[in-house]
Each structure stands twice: as C-alpha cells, then as structure tokens.
Amino acid sequence: MRWTPGDRSNIEDLRGRSGVGMKAGGLGIGGLLVLLILSWATGVDFLSLLGGGGGGAAPTETVGTSGTVASSPEEEKLVDFVDAVMADSQMTWRDLLGDRYQPTRVRLFREAIPSACGFAQSASGPFYCPGDHYVYLDLGFFEELRRRFGASGDFAEAYVVAHELGHHVQSLLGIDSRMRQLQSRNPSETNELSVRLELQADCFAGVWAHATNKAGRSAQGRVELEAGDLEEGLRAAAAIGDDRIQRMSTGHVFPDKFTHGTSDQRVTWLRRGFENGTPDACQTFQ
C-alpha cells in the first residue's frame, strides 16, 4: 500500500490514559481478584499500583492516566497508518453516502478501557461500539495478527480497520438496529444474523479497497493499493475466520458458535465488495 501520514485527526489517542488500573477506583472484590491473578501470572505487583489508599490520589489516576505514553517509532508509524486508513475510508464513505455519512474516530488504547459498550479489553480484539460510535483498537492486535494468525502486511491491518468502520456505516444506516430487532423476534437465529452483520462489514471493507485500487491516488495524498495487497487482506480474512480460530484454540469446530463467519465466507464477501465497489453488492441479509 502507498499512503501519506496526515494530521491524526481521525485518532483519539488514549494509550496513555488506559491500562489495567483503569477501573481501580470502582474495584470490587472481583476486580481485586483479577489484579491478584494478574500479579501472580506476570510477576508485576499490580496491587501496589493502586496506591497506598486512603487520602491519596484517587486510585483511578495512579495507573496510566498521565496522558503521556511510552511509544516506539514503529508504533508511531502505526498510529499514522491507522489515521491514514481511517481518513481515506471515511472520505470514501462520504462520497458513497453523502450526508448520511457522519465521521468518527479510532480510540487507541492499551490493555483496557471503558466504553459505552462496557469495559473493553485488548483480549477481545478491535471493535466498534454503536453506543458511542467509536472504533476501539489496541495496536498490539496487529502483532497478534502477525504472530498468532500468520496474517502480515499493511493491507491486512488496513482491512481490520476498514471492517470496524464498516460497522460504523451499518450503525449510520440503521442496519445493526434492524438486525437486533430481527434477533429479538427470532432468538434461534441470533447467531446466524450476527454472522451476516460481520460478513457485511467485511464486504464494506472490500468496497473501500475497491476505491483505493486506482493508479495516481497516492500523488493526491490518498491511499493507493499495490500489487499483492488484496491477497494480504484475503489471507487475513481467511486467518481470522471463526472456524480457523476455533480449530486453533480447541481443535474442534462448533458452527453454532460462529459469530464472524467461516474463513471461506469472509474471503468471499471481502472479494465481492472489492470487485463491485458499491455497498449494494453487500446484501448479506438476503
């Protein structure tokens, strides 16, 4: 991919204001247990990070809330990259949807952060929260993508961001709320319906990839696809299909537990969006 760093206006950098101690202020016995286990597992004394207690600074401010962040040049490049992908894909959706499109941002965090959708942890991967309309991302996920799922390359990472933005588009178009209505009317199809929502987000990521696949774009400061990029995205889609993830972790496949679709389905819909370049091609609910 070819891309140019921008002004980071598509990013809300909360890396220095998130972390394992985020929720310490309201820590119940369950939270305390989690910290004890974490301390045991990692050898780091998380309890001491809570502060001495009684009269001191509020515990929530003792860990990672300074707003400063220790980062490497590689990580800063990733921040620029995510910003560039978001900027380009948001411009693309504005072109496609006109006034129906409302811009959003990526909230970067580390380890854990509160959101309108609850307390988010890196372990659950990147996600979109319809409650506050933000995309949440811990940059460490890209490392996970490379190491655990063998999906490397900048377009593999861009696909992850574009998929989450696809959920934002679904929210703006009312697709997700219609899906939840369907789910409450047909509880037995809850899982099948959420798979369709996920596959549509894959297709929407492909719609953006289609727009980037034009020579001369990078000269205008836009993202431009290069040879081999789509294959990286397709490999990533195949790598993070539910059947593959389940097989890796349990050795078995349970179709009733699929929430993102199989590797084949994800590849198919990403490709369909890429080939057609219009959201009309993404009718996963029909």
Contacting positions for Zn ion (CB under 5 A):
198, 201
* Rounded least distance, CB 235 to Zn ion, Å: 18
Residue 139 or 201: the one with the smaller Cβ distance to Zn ion is 201
Residue 217 or 244: the one with the smaller Cβ distance to Zn ion is 244
Residue 138 or 198: the one with the smaller Cβ distance to Zn ion is 198
Residue 66 or 124: the one with the smaller Cβ distance to Zn ion is 124
* Rounded least distance, CB 174 to Zn ion, Å: 17
* Rounded least distance, CB 166 to Zn ion, Å: 7
* Rounded least distance, CB 241 to Zn ion, Å: 12
Residue 46 or 208: the one with the smaller Cβ distance to Zn ion is 208
* Rounded least distance, CB 175 to Zn ion, Å: 13
In a 13 Å sphere around the CA of 207, the CA atoms on its Cβ side amount to 25
Distances (CA, A) of 4 to 83, 85, 90, 157, 217: 10, 10, 15, 16, 11
* Rounded least distance, CB 163 to Zn ion, Å: 6
Residue 19 or 261: the one with the smaller Cβ distance to Zn ion is 261
Residue 38 or 245: the one with the smaller Cβ distance to Zn ion is 245
* Rounded least distance, CB 152 to Zn ion, Å: 20
Q: Enumerate residues 6+ apart whose C-beta is below 8 A from 252.
A: 246
Rounded (5°) CA angle 31-36-39 = 125
